[in-house]
Chain A
Amino acid sequence: MIERSADRIAGWIAAACALSVLGLFGWLIADLVGRGVTHLSWDLLTSEPMDAGRAGGIAPILGSTGLILAIALVSAAPLGLATALFLAEIGRRHGRARRWVGGSLDLLAAVPSIAFGLFGNALFCRWLGMGFSILSGGLTLGCMILPWITRTVEQHLRSVPESYRLGGAALALSQSTILWRLIVPSARRGLVVGVVLGLARAAAETAALIFTSGSVMRWPSSLFDSGRSVSVHIYEVALNVPGGGGAAYASALVLLVSLIVIQSLASVLTEHWLGRGESA
């Protein structure tokens, strides 16, 4: 009898915990939609900001964000694919090297984003002389998302059936042929999911960009120009521009909706391709 009521009480408490997490996020989303939706319009996406960002649109900011993300992906995806191939295929015979590379990537994934910002500022802006630029910001984010892309691709490479490798070896195919003709095509999907996940991480990032790509609001004229990302825009307008709250909410809504679309895409693709229902 005591056990039964203890079970019931525990169940209620657990449900209350679960509900409170969902409720708080529900509040956040309702708040975001409630205050942001009035500022939302087609003009927001197509016109230039005015009055320090309080009014007008965010078109140049979306443009800079796109360029920063493109650089991050272009730099991180090939390196991530090659590293994943090493970890999953070549490194099989070199356990120690694989552990070191894997461990270093896991630690890199845990480095705080502000530390990436400092690192990017020291390496790209100063040492390599790129200054506050879209290029510096993009490369900094590339370093940041590299572990996520690598680990996702590696996971997909490992799900390629062992029989492909054995079959290839039995046909006396060279290792490079086995990799390019058998393994990589089967793991192509992993690269897509990894890139989409990396994109979501990079688009959500702010602290690593404040002092690498800077906060200039106009259209960038080249990759060496400073450009403000949507996330930096939200921060600047909310904290440093009196009366910028509404504009910040509108940008936050745009960012959140794009991220939810990107992430849903990633989880649908993962479920579809890896055939697992739980890997959200």
Chain B
Amino acid sequence: MTSSALKHSSRFSRDRWLVAVLTGAAALSAAILVFVVVFLARESWPALDRIGVTRFLSDDGWFPTSGRFELTPMLAGSLIVTLGSLLVAAPVGVGAAVFTQFYAPGAIARWYRRAMGVLAGVPSVVLGLFGLMTIVPWIARIRAPGASVLAGALLLALMILPTIVLMTDAAFAAVPRSQLSAAAALGYGRWTTIRRIALASARPSIVSAIVLALARAIGETMVVLMVCGNVVQYPSSPFSPVRTLTANIALEMPYATTLHRSALFVGGLLLVLAVGLAFWCLARFQIRLERDD
């Protein structure tokens, strides 16, 4: 064997090693999601097996220490607070993006985007603190106790707004210039162009932004834990306190044991499945759009 062939073979074996190591690392990274689901399912199993799915929906209230495990009020709480936050954040966020992309002077728009980038990183526990100490007392002046669906929805809206603004703004920026100049050539005004061309063309990306925001809001813990009051009940008005699925886990994990602990893992599993479902719907939606084009 010549020396060059030797060099060759060692070189290729090094390449093989490299490929093997990198592929292994990628497989491990991909496996973490599987681990998350498997461990949540494994810990949920005792509850799913011994309590059963139907009792989570039909038991007489949530009193886990005396064996009553109704999850539906908290499920409803999570959904109501999340939808409330989207009701506020979606129109305001799209409006703010219209402003930065079409109305604001360039320098202000750049500055505004940078501010949104920084504000998107405000920790949720800080938002929760602000809500607990400032927003809740404000709401309490209108109607006690203040810690309520309304407080949760407003603060979650604040949490997801910067991301909605940035993603919608990016979607507007991606509208083909040719479409905008064609609209100008037809004599459309700015507002008609935004309404007929930009909003229509950016709609799929705006929908994605809102679905991602929904996934974040429904999984958020600290904000709702600190400002929603955590009473297990179906809220009767925006001013009623409510407990979400996430807050329930955070409140009871420290002392829960055996079946109770397992029931809390069922809540966690449910959250992951909800986020997975949202992603799946989004992927289907995007595939359908591509096919229609």
- Residues on A lying within 8 angstroms of B by beta carbon are 3-4, 6-7, 10-11, 13-18, 20-22, 24-25, 27-28, 31-32, 35, 79-80, 82-83, 85-87, 89-91, 97, 100-101, 104-108, 110-119, 121-123, 127, 143, 146, 150, 174-176, 179, 200-201, 203-207, 210-211, 231, 234-235, 238-239, 245, 248-249, 252, 255-256, 259-260, 263-264, 267, 277-278, 280
In the assembled complex, which residues on chain A have CB atoms less than 8 Å from the CB atom of B279?
A: 106-107, 110
Give the interface SS of chain A, mostly helix, strand, loop or mixed.
helix
Asked whether, in the complex, the Cβ of A210 is within 8 Å of the Cβ of B250, the reply is yes
> What's the nearest-Cβ distance from chain B to residue A260, in Å?
6
**Closest chain B residue to A235 by CB distance?**
B125
For A278, the closest partner residue in chain B by CB is B113
User: Smallest Cβ distance from A99 to chain B, in angstroms?
Assistant: 11
Q: Does B202 contact A (CB under 8 A)?
A: no
Give the contacting residue for B126; candidates A17, A91, A252; CB below 8 A: A252
Q: Return chain B residues, CB-CB under 8 Å to A110.
A: 212, 215-216, 219, 275, 278-279
Alpha-carbon distance A82/B29, docked complex (angstroms): 9
Among A14, A24, A31, A86, contact of B26 (Cβ-Cβ < 8 Å): A86
Indicate if the CB atoms of A259 and B123 lie closer than 8 Å: yes
Distance (whole angstroms) from the CB of A24 to the closest CB of chain B: 6
In Å, the complex CA distance between A16 and B104 comes to: 12
Are A206 and B98 CB-contacts (below 8 A) given A119-B36, A176-B15, A260-B118?
Answer: no
Complexed CA–CA distance, A91 and B249 (Å): 39
Tell me whether B175 is interfacial, beta carbon within 8 Å. Answer: no
Pair B222/A3 contact, Cβ less than 8 Å: no
Known: A25-B158, A259-B123. A14 touches B32 (CB 8 A): no
Chain B residues near A278: list those with CB within 8 A: 113, 170, 173
Residues in chain A near residue B222, CB distance under 8 A: 206-207, 235
Q: How far is the CB of A143 from chain B (nearest CB, A)?
A: 5
Query: Could you tell me the distance in whole angstroms from the C-beta of B221 to the nearest C-beta in chain A?
Result: 4
User: Which A residues are in CB contact (< 8 Å) with B17?
Assistant: 176
Question: In the complex the two chains form, is A28's CB within 8 Å of B25's CB?
Answer: no
Q: With A25-B119, A118-B268 in contact, is A17–B96 under 8 Å at CB? A: yes
Q: A112-B219, A263-B117 are in contact. Are A86 and B23 (CB under 8 A)?
A: yes
Inter-chain contact B194/A10, CB cutoff 8 Å:
yes
Closest Cβ–Cβ distance, residue A209 to chain B (whole Å): 10
Q: With A and B bound together, what is the CA distance between A210 and B30 in angstroms?
A: 25
**Is B253's beta carbon under 8 Å from chain A?**
yes
Q: Contacts A32-B130, A122-B265, A204-B124 given; indicate if A24 touches B158 (C-beta within 8 A).
A: yes
- Bound CA span A264–B28, Å: 31
**Is the CB–CB distance between B126 and A112 below 8 Å?**
no
Q: Which residues of B contact A204 (CB under 8 A)?
A: 121-125
How long is the Cα–Cα vector from A14 to B92 in the complex, in angstroms?
A: 8
A73 to B148, CA, bound (A): 37
